[in-house]
Amino acid sequence: MDKKKNLVKKRGLGKGLGSLIPEMEPETEEKEEKKDLSRLPLNQLEQNPYQPRTKFSEDEIEELSLSIKEHGILQPVLVRKKANENNRYEIIAGERRARAAKIAGLKEIPVIIKEMSDEQMLQISIIENIQRENLNPVEEAKAYKRLINEFKRTQEELSQIVGKSRSAIANTMRLLNLPENILDSIEDSLISGGHARALLGAKDEFVQNKVFYEILDKKMSVRETEYLVKRLNENDVSIKPKPFIPPPQYKTMAVRLSDLMGTKVQISAKNNNTGKIEINFRDENELNKIFEYLNSIQNAN
């Protein structure tokens, strides 16, 4: 048991978790766990309403379900009773295990039922995910913001709760100042947290987006991103806009019109869905044929 406690301390839980789940003496811990251990049907469990993690890897859950089929669930899921509802429970920690158990075909799973406030529930959810490195930087930042806004915690108090420095928490929360499209790309793992922090150094949103699309296009490293941001801030470099490439169906339409008119037709377009059609003619005779064709269409209508 002592080794287990030392491992928890090394991971940097912060002082908050000890107050949420008080540490037990080694000789009583095993008895206490057995006393709290229960089994509940999966259909009585509900998702953690304070779960900071919004994206779960389907491949990881599938792999875990295969392990559960073979070995069962080795660690109980932590739950609390849902207020004012009989036989309904909310998952505090272990949502991934519960999802995998359902895929594995289990009807019930081992749980530990704890009384816990909404704030404690959010705190444990954050700590568990941070330890497992499951949260992307945006999910982590949103979880900190929720603790501050809903539960009136300061960054200094969060530092004690999650075992991170106040400056690290502040820097993570600064990511929420980025434009929504960049935040979405972080959550989708298109760019890293390092790239995102480099983009925070841009002087305005225009520069942020310019560099952001360069990162996607050229697979830039974080160091290259920082250098480009610096140069754009100093107006030392400009990025030429990429030429717009019309949709492939425009070319098909141009070929069809060329066949109908008996002359070359070109369609050019802009990225705002506007453009022009160019009809070429080599001599007056060809021009008359084009005119007659267009006139025949008008008369047909």
Look-up: residue for tokens 């987006």?
209
Active site residues: 95
Lowest mean pLDDT, pick from 1-15, 109-123, 210-224: 1-15
Both tokens of 118, joined, read: 């909404």
Structure tokens at 220: 């830039």
Write the pLDDT tens digit of every residue in 160-203: 888 889 999 999 999 999 999 999 899 888 999 999 999 999 99
Contact present, 78 and 120 (Cβ < 8 Å): no
Which among 119, 206, 130, 204 has a CA at the least distance from the CA of 168?
A: 130
pLDDT digits over 103-132, tens only? 999 999 999 998 888 888 877 877 777 766
Q: Which residues of 162-195 are buried (b: 16+ CB within 10 A; e: fewer)?
A: bbbeeeebeebbebeebeeebbebbeeeebbbeb
Give the contacts of 53 (CB within 8 A, at least 6 positions apart). Answer: 95, 125, 129, 134, 135, 139
Q: Does pLDDT of 16 surpass 80?
A: no
* Domain 2-131 grouped into CATH 3.90.1530.30: yes
Which residue ranges make up each domain of the chain? 2-131, 185-233, 248-300
**What's CA 269's distance to the chain center, in Å?**
34
CB count in 10 Å sphere of residue 206: 10
Q: Which pTM does this prediction carry?
A: 0.56
What per-residue confidence (pLDDT) applies to 242? 57
Rounded distance between C-alpha atoms, residue 200 and residue 207, angstroms: 10
Say what the pLDDT of residue 70 is.
87
Amino acid at 155: Q
> What average pLDDT score do residues 90-113 get?
90
More confident residue, 1 or 261: 261
Per-residue pLDDT at 222: 95
Helix (H/G/I), strand (E/B), else coil: 103: helix
What percent of the chain is predicted at pLDDT more than 70? 81
The type of residue at 246 is P
- Give the model's confidence band at 221: pLDDT under 50 very low, under 70 low, under 90 confident, else very high: very high
Question: Span 200-220, mean pLDDT?
Answer: 92
Instruction: Say whether pLDDT at 34 is over 80.
Output: no
Q: Is the pLDDT assigned to residue 157 strictly greater than 60? A: yes
Residue range 130-152: mean pLDDT, rounded: 82
